[in-house]
Homo-oligomer: A and B are copies of this chain.
Amino acid sequence: MADRPPLVLQPPTPETARNIANTLRFLAADQVQKANSGHPGMPMGSAEIATVLMTKHLRIDPKDDKWPGRDRFILSAGHASALLYGMLHLQGFLTLEDLHGFRQLGTRTPGHPEVGETPGVEASTGPLGAGFAMAVGMAAAERMTAELFNTPKFDIIDHHTYVLTGDGCQQEGAVYEAASLAGTLGLGRLIVIYDRNQITIEGSTSLAFTEDVAKRYEAMNWHVQTVDGQDMDAVDAALVAAKEEKLRPSIIIANTTIGRGAPKKAGKASVHGEPLGAEELASAKEAMNWPAESFYVPKDVADYFDVRRGEWMAMRQEWNDMFAAYDKKHHATARELQRVLAGELPKQWKNSLPEFPADKAVATRAAGGTVMNGLGAVIPELIGGAADLSPSTKTEIKSGANPEYIARGAFLGRNIHFGVREHAMGWFTNGVALHGGFIPYSSTFMVFHDYMRPAVRLAALMKLRNIFVYTHDSIMVGEDGPTHEPVETLAALRTIPGLNVWRPADANETAFAWQAMIERKDGPSAICLSRQNLPVFDRTKYAGARETLKGMYILDTDTEKSPEILIIASGSDVQLAVGVAEGLRKAGKAVRVVSAPCLEVFKTQAEGYRKKVLPKRLRKRLVIESGVVQGWEGVLGDSGIFAGMAGFGLSGKAEMVADHFGLTVPKILERVNREGW
């Protein structure tokens, strides 16, 4: 891989550099003051860092915030959004008017950075550690894309991922997990600047955070430098050195003073998360020799960025020219790169979805593995891994292009060993989705969704195409016992707005659930799969498995015109539903069974279809799901019966555990009979 020629970015004069820093400092303080809400402390302390980054390193272009060759800058300390918005203003993404609207409803400058809401924002951050951990995924995606698409002559993908993080992020376990993984993978183009002001909300970090951070990062195979974060030359030198280091991720520990410039509050916790107040703000400006005017941008600063925007545009033009030459020489590859970056699927990918015969039972986790591998063979951008559970979750890609694991210095691969790091895995795959070029998935036991829940929430908020594979989805885990048996996890997943939660009933529903997850471009999906074998429905006798795509459907399309009883179930529990229906029919009842692989998708169906599946008049409704009732009560209505769990599970053979909790055909029939249906 050839190195790109050095950037030709006109550096500012020392005076202009100081002015840029102060512009950022006071634009931030002014935003917070005007909104009467927000965090001035970190922006004021890290304004010099931001200045160096913007003026000497960052390759972006405000004319195209989706430019694939752009550097990524992630503000992991999302509460310092006022700094980011100041940067985006100088860069040309935001107007001064946008900054006036800081933290107000309907503006492009929300309280914390939100991707999609503000041009130039690469990730939604604020929950501490999120940005750092997602950046690790972005940096890995950069290397994976580069390995796939660069050629000796064309470094189409060779950007850096910069992160600005603070003392809060560094205490989060997710950051440790992600950092350890980044060190293992040797993500040399990941450059973290740790704004170390040693103040958090409760006071000095010495109260709760006394470790030697530099040593800890060294232990994790990082390139570590410590600098005075207010010395712009020192920060620049450290960034240069960080870029020279190719095999290890870099962290620059930049010591700063929180609220720098505020005469009374600098260095204190009180400047962290509250407006300075008019008086202190005025004093700060005076102390820094800065005009009192609000939202002030000096002419030399404005002029500098006018020139800079031209340079940035030229830089992108240079990349476009390179891409055109690349396209000429490697046409198919260039098209393929454009396809994956656009998130479009290859033609006829659906042909690769397997169809499972009805003659043998298969666990949906195993079916999932087969489906994934079918898809993986034709969708090379499908990549992912497990939190050290792939032999159990069956999520290794063994077919198609590059079915290897990525590793340090070897990024041509589809599989990732995430280690026992569920939380980092969730953030990492979010980062991959944000970077573009891949459809990421990740997997673990369903009960351990809890470990990565913050990342799943943000995937939904950011509307990312990210797929979460959760296996061992009920008390049928059996011997491992209640610590490993999800009973509330399905319900908890379904509470997350915008997350589609699939729980297929058999192998063929699994295939269509995967189809739906792959097709969905505007949000994440989770799929909940069985540990145990499940019979495959004979689709000549039952409704076609394609009905899965509707979220809920009438499974047994027998001749019953007017069923008296409706049985609705998901996943492995559909087997119980069919057994109970059989029992009731023997007793002369007219019964209909509905399979419910995805409640969220069902809710998006036309009203007519929904009424057909769940006719209003049909009030004898039996819902079977081996989890808690939340999320089902709306379907149950006032006179339904719920066969599920009311508490945690137990350790024992799965069938005995199910029997203990009444989740067998005879015991459910007994309950129905008791009801007098």
Contact = CB atoms under 8 A, between A and B. Distances in A.
Interface of A: 35, 37-38, 78, 103-106, 110-112, 114, 124-128, 167-169, 171-177, 180-181, 183-184, 200-203, 205, 207-216, 218-221, 269, 386, 388-392, 405, 407, 417-421, 423-424, 447-448, 450-451, 453-454, 457-458, 460-461, 478-484, 487-488, 491-492, 494-498, 628-634, 636-638, 645-648, 650-653, 656-657, 660
Given A171-B180, A388-B201, A481 B110 contact: yes
Given A176-B173, A488-B496, A183 B211 contact: yes
A114 B495 contact: no
Contact of A454 (B78, B176, B451, B488): B451
A480 B126 contact: yes
Contacts of A638: 637-638
Given A171-B177, A183-B210, A461-B648, 15 more contacts: A104-B652, A104-B653, A110-B651, A111-B481, A127-B451, A167-B420, A183-B211, A184-B211, A487-B497, A488-B496, A494-B630, A497-B628, A498-B647, A633-B634, A633-B636
Nearest to A211: B220
Contacts of A498: 647-648
B219 A420 contact: no
Given A210-B183, A211-B221, A457-B450, A103 B497 contact: no
A417 B206 CA distance: 10
B651 A103 contact: yes
Contact of A111 (B407, B480, B628): B480
22 contacts: A103-B652, A105-B656, A105-B660, A114-B481, A126-B484, A172-B451, A173-B175, A173-B176, A173-B423, A180-B211, A201-B388, A201-B389, A207-B417, A208-B419, A453-B453, A461-B648, A488-B496, A491-B495, A491-B630, A492-B492, A495-B628, A633-B634
Contacts of A167: 420
A391 B417 CA distance: 40
Given A112-B484, A631-B630, A417 B211 contact: no
A252 to B, nearest CB: 17
A495 B497 contact: no
A448 to B, nearest CB: 7
B173 A421 contact: yes
Given A453-B453, A483-B461, A630-B491, A650 B177 contact: no
Given A219-B216, A219-B219, A450-B453, A657 B112 contact: no
Contact of A479 (B35, B203, B213): B35
B171 A173 contact: no
Contacts of A421: 171-173, 208
A221 B171 CA distance: 15
Contact of A201 (B216, B392, B424, B636): B392
A595 B343 CA distance: 48
A657 B405 contact: no
Nearest to A79: B480
Contacts of A219: 211-216, 219
Contacts of A457: 450, 488
A184 B405 CA distance: 38
A202 B390 contact: yes
A420 B482 CA distance: 29
In the complex, the count of this chain's copies comes to: 2
Contact of A168 (B214, B420, B637, B646): B420
A91 B35 CA distance: 65
Nearest first, the 3 A-B pairs at minimum CB distance are A173-B173, A105-B652, A208-B419
A424 B423 CA distance: 14
Contacts of A633: 631-634, 636
Contact of A176 (B78, B168, B176): B176
A638 B634 CA distance: 7
A182 to B, nearest CB: 11
A126 to B, nearest CB: 4
B630 A419 contact: no
A123 to B, nearest CB: 11
A58 to B, nearest CB: 24
A505 B481 CA distance: 38
Contacts of A631: 630, 633
A181 B173 CA distance: 12
Contacts of A216: 215-216, 219-220
A388 B111 contact: no
A257 to B, nearest CB: 19
A496 B105 CA distance: 34
A169 B421 CA distance: 10
Nearest to A103: B479
Contacts of A210: 183-184, 221
B127 A448 contact: yes
Counting chain B CB atoms within 10 Å of each CB, the highest count among A106, A216, A405 belongs to A216
A175 B419 CA distance: 14
Contacts of A407: 207
A479 to B, nearest CB: 4
Contacts of A171: 177, 180, 388, 419-421
Given A208-B417, A483-B78, A495-B630, A650 B105 contact: yes
A105 B653 contact: yes
Contacts of A420: 128, 167-169, 171-172, 200
Contacts of A388: 168, 171, 200-202, 208
A134 B180 CA distance: 22
Nearest to A113: B483
A218 B220 contact: no
Nearest to A455: B450
A495 B646 CA distance: 10
Nearest to A212: B219
